[in-house]
Structure 1
Amino acid sequence: MAPSHGIHVIDTGFVRPRFDAAYLIVEQGRGAFVDCGTNAAVPRMLEALDQAGLAPEQVDWLILTHVHLDHAGGAGELIAQLPNARAVVHPRGARHLIDPTQLWAGASAVYGDEVMEKTYGRLRPIPAERVVEAPEGHIVELQGRPLRCLDTPGHARHHLCVYDEQGRACFTGDTFGLSYREFDTERGPFALPTSTPVQFEPEALHESIRRLVALQPEAMYVTHFGPVGDIERLAKGLHAQIDAMVSLGHAVRGEPKEKRHEWLKWALTDLYAERVAAHGWKGTRDELLEILGMDIELNAQGLEVWLDRGG
């Protein structure tokens, strides 16, 4: 994909092609990465630099939308290859970059050490002096090109999005949902919300989406996967699906956890099958599960955590 406004799309190679994106913004011979994937993505990130005509010492910033490992797992290894770069992160996420022990332990409790080692590799700490906390409104300067950080909870409380006014772009991490290219039809892209555990907050997510749309960007650069337009239509669909997911959660409040989880997975599959069919996608239910199976599992878990917190 040819860069627009100096923005390069990088496929990190995580899980499958066109699943997990990172971005490189180039301005007057300097670079800023937005997200970086896992440790295994570091060679791809450096290759993207080379293809853009930059050397590692010409990168000033690695901006992380949040510290979930598919977005930031390789941050320590990448920063070690970028001698002049600093990592920018939401204030709630900074401690996890400096000491990733708790981040690893939390994920390992779910997946186990063996799977973690194979999928993500060990997390490398970033020296504290190379970590910059970015509260609401923080400006990252890239050769006079301001990149404004926005506090955008809903998917995670440590989530930020980046508004690039010059590029007329928002880098949205997981706040503006998932938009896999497999679901593109003649009507354009399709998007669905992600309630991945453990900090799904539907009202906050609604508000964060409204904030991004109000900026009127040309494109939302989502992590999963790539830039999407037709923003008003996608936002309307995201809001409707968030409300539908909340209703599904309420429908199983008080049910035994084993029954609740399986029912939510089944109901979420029905919800997404109905939405993509209405969008003109012609795939089967098995094909849907091939694409969304992991997301459906995680969305069900996230809804359950939200219910257990009193949602």
Structure 2
Amino acid sequence: MTTQGIHTIDTGFVRPQFDAAYLIVENGRGAFIDCGTNFSVPRMLAALGEAGITAAEVDWLILTHVHLDHAGGAGELIAQLPDAKLVVHPRGARHMIDPSALWAGASAVYGEAVMEREYGRLRPIPAERVVEAGDGHVIDLAGRPLRCIDTPGHAKHHIAIHDARANVCFTGDVFGLSYREFDTDNGPFILPTTSPVQFDPDALHASIDRLVALRPEAMYLTHYDRVENVAKLAADLHQQIDAMVTLAHAAHSQPDRHAALTESLTDLYAGRAEAHGWRQGREALSRLLGMDIELNAQGLAVWLDNAQRRAQ
């Protein structure tokens, strides 16, 4: 579906309708928002043809943040876009210019073999093609302003992009996850996403509120696609962030904290999904959300440990 020049691209990462990137076309010029992995690059280039523009007519590749499901293919894609510049949060810029630390950190968690198979080797981007986007930075896409908003909470290097022309926000991971498999007659089902090391619930609450205050008609999520009824979904996110923090505190004294957290998070999401009218059951939910539950458990544990160290 294309709305006001906005094209959704399924990057192909993990499963269909799991990981989205976007192409905005205005007056024959293009801007990508996020790009998936190296293996997503052919899909990104194919989207240009479908939108009626060429690689030479792309001015920008904008990253919401540098996690690899959003930015892993940035170097390979920029190499195919002769005139485009990369736009990224100032904290993420160095990792795009020299991705060695990003690669080493992820490889330490997942292993080299998994990294090569799932993401492909990261390609550096020349520094002169990288633009650091602080809060309020405005990207000009052929006269269409795209404003970058500093939105920490999921990651410290996260921006959302407000497209005033379409009155929508591209939210990366800061406005949660909403997979289409969970849609019911009650609309989309949404849940927050932490990151393994930089989750900050207070900052995430504030970032969500800041985006809602813009009164957008819709949010474009990386995971996955356009969602409307923004105020309701924001309230759902706020409730769950608070519930997740409560679960983290409750699990802290458990012998196997991680197992306790994954179990309690599964209970939380399964109960909310059922109340939302989703009837496929806990096993199906665990299969679809297993990766996200694992990451949320990790993020909550690291946040809890950091909070306790600060309190000492």
- TM-score, length-normalised on structure 1? 0.98
Counting only pairs closer than 5 Å after superposition, residues 225-264 of structure 1 correspond to structure 2 as: 225-256=224-255, 259-264=256-261
**Who is 2:42 aligned against?**
43
Distance 2:184 2:254 in 1: 38
In the alignment, structure 1 residue 11 sits paired with structure 2 residue 25: no
Aligned-residue offset at 1:117: 0.5
Distance 1:284 1:222 in 2: 24
Which of 276, 279, 284 is 1:279 aligned to?
276
1:39-96 residue CA offsets vs partner (Å, 9 max, x unmatched) = 0000000000010001000000000000000000000000000000000000000000
- Residue 64 of structure 2: SS of its match in structure 1? coil
Counting only pairs closer than 5 Å after superposition, residues 78-97 of structure 1 correspond to structure 2 as: 78-97=77-96
**Who is 1:56 aligned against?**
55
Distance 2:281 2:218 in 1: 29
**Who is 1:158 aligned against?**
157
**Who is 1:76 aligned against?**
75
Aligned-residue offset at 1:253: 2.4
Counting only pairs closer than 5 Å after superposition, residues 178-189 of structure 1 correspond to structure 2 as: 178-189=177-188
Distance 2:251 2:3 in 1: 45
**Who is 1:267 aligned against?**
264
CA contact (8 A) 2:170 2:219 kept: yes
**Who is 2:130 aligned against?**
131
Distance 1:59 1:291 in 2: 34
Letter in 1 for 2:142: Q
- TM-score, length-normalised on structure 2? 0.98
Aligned-residue offset at 1:12: 0.2
In the alignment, structure 1 residue 103 sits paired with structure 2 residue 102: yes
Aligned-residue offset at 1:249: 0.7
- Residue 93 of structure 1: SS of its match in structure 2? helix
1:245-289 residue CA offsets vs partner (Å, 9 max, x unmatched) = 000111122444xx0000000000000001111111011111001
Distance 1:217 1:63 in 2: 19
Identity over aligned pairs, percent? 69
Root-mean-square deviation over aligned CA pairs: 0.7
Letter in 1 for 2:199: F
Letter in 2 for 1:100: P
- Residue 90 of structure 2: SS of its match in structure 1? coil
Aligned-residue offset at 1:167: 1.0
1:76-129 residue CA offsets vs partner (Å, 9 max, x unmatched) = 000000000000000000000000000001100110000000000000000000
Q: Could you list the runs of 4 or more consecutive aligned residues of structure 1 that deviate by over 4 angstroms after TM superposition?
A: none
Distance 1:46 1:166 in 2: 24
Distance 1:80 1:167 in 2: 29
Distance 1:95 1:273 in 2: 39
Distance 2:224 2:141 in 1: 24
Letter in 2 for 1:8: H
Letter in 2 for 1:65: T
CA contact (8 A) 2:254 2:260 kept: no
CA contact (8 A) 2:153 2:204 kept: yes
5+ long unaligned stretches in structure 1: none
Letter in 2 for 1:233: K
Distance 2:293 2:159 in 1: 23
**Who is 1:112 aligned against?**
111
- Residue 153 of structure 1: SS of its match in structure 2? coil
Distance 1:255 1:291 in 2: 26
- Residue 220 of structure 2: SS of its match in structure 1? strand
Count of residues in correspondence between the two structures: 308
Aligned-residue offset at 1:290: 1.1
